[in-house]
Amino acid sequence: MNSLTTYQENLMTLNRFTDEKEISKHILNLKEDIEKEETKRFHIELWSSLMDKYYKSKDYSLFTKPLNHFIYFEGGRKYIYETDRVLDFYNETGISFQSRELLLTTLSQENMDANFTEIPPSSIREYNDHIYGNLSSQIMYKMKILYFGGPYE
């Protein structure tokens, strides 16, 4: 036996109150339209809020100097980085804005690097994923220790 969909259950409930099936269907269609609009508005507001927090984390410095957020490494071994100074994005998502940047860099470099080298783009991406993945993990670990007393998984 198949279970009823939410629409079907709601339609049955409304049909108990009125014999006009078209009115019940119209009410449910209005309900669906309202829910779609509310969901759209919610996601737009969430995206706007997250991006606002992301850019503030990226641009703002408590020490009135540029944040050394563009992370680099020496010889693929020694990572030099700072933790996020503004924690709004981190507090909202649980992710450092720098980790997001590293992910976007890893994903976007395939096209750029493929034009300038004989190395297959997949190998470049795999190497960058390894380097940036380790760096991102170190940043997240340090942030959890500095700001929250320890790494909690």
> Digits of tens for pLDDT over the chain (153 positions)?
678 899 999 999 999 998 898 999 999 999 999 999 999 999 999 999 999 999 888 776 554 455 555 455 556 566 667 788 888 999 999 999 888 988 888 887 654 545 556 777 777 788 888 888 888 888 888 888 887 776 555
- Establish if 1 belongs to a structural domain: no
Same-domain check for residues 54 and 110: no
Domain that holds residue 54: 6-59
- Establish if 153 belongs to a structural domain: no
pTM, 2 dp: 0.67
Same-domain check for residues 87 and 23: no
Q: Which of 14, 31, 32 is closest to 23 using CA atoms?
A: 14
- Establish if 131 belongs to a structural domain: yes
For residue 83, how many other CB atoms are within 10 A of its CB? 19
| Backbone dihedral region for residue 5 (phi beyond 0: left; psi -120 to 50: alpha; all else: beta) | beta
Query: What's the domain count of the chain?
Result: 2
- Establish if 64 belongs to a structural domain: no
The phi, psi pair for 151, rounded to 5°, reads -80, 120
Exposure letters 128-142 (e unless 16+ CB within 10 A, then b): bbebbeebbeebbee
